[in-house]
Amino acid sequence: MNGIIKRLQNDSLIFEVPLELYHKEAILFAAHTFIDRCYVDIDPSSEKCINVSFRQKNKDIQFDNFALEFCNELLDQQVRLNVEKSYGNIRDLIVRQAFWPVENIQNEIKI
């Protein structure tokens, strides 16, 4: 949880996530993963941080483990975005090449 500040406040677990480490999209994707278990509130605390607060839907959730899960999910989503940014164009080229022959015969297909 390096760089992420967490605190408990009024039955909510609040994370202050620095935008210098995580993109807003990664934060939203990570928070969305937990909407089945918690009520989620996302709110910019400053130009440098976004606050993500989780309130339990039921009392079965242990916030200690939950905090670790959220931090792992946040890292996973950020890595996905980084990979997409770095290599997404290669994937697009592969998909285009795989379907290229089909595009060439579209005019010959009679339905």
Q: In the prediction, which pLDDT does 46 show? A: 87
- CB burial of 18-50 (b: ≥16 within 10 Å; e: otherwise) equals eeeebeeebbebbbeebeeebeeeeeeeeeebb
For the chain, the structural domain boundaries read 5-104
Per-residue pLDDT tens digits for 22-57: 999 999 999 999 999 999 999 988 889 999 999 988
Instruction: Answer yes or no: is pLDDT of 98 > 80.
Output: no
Fold of the domain spanning 5-104: Gyrase A; domain 2 (3.30.1360)
Q: What is this structure's pTM?
A: 0.76
Percentage of residues in the chain having pLDDT higher than 90: 48
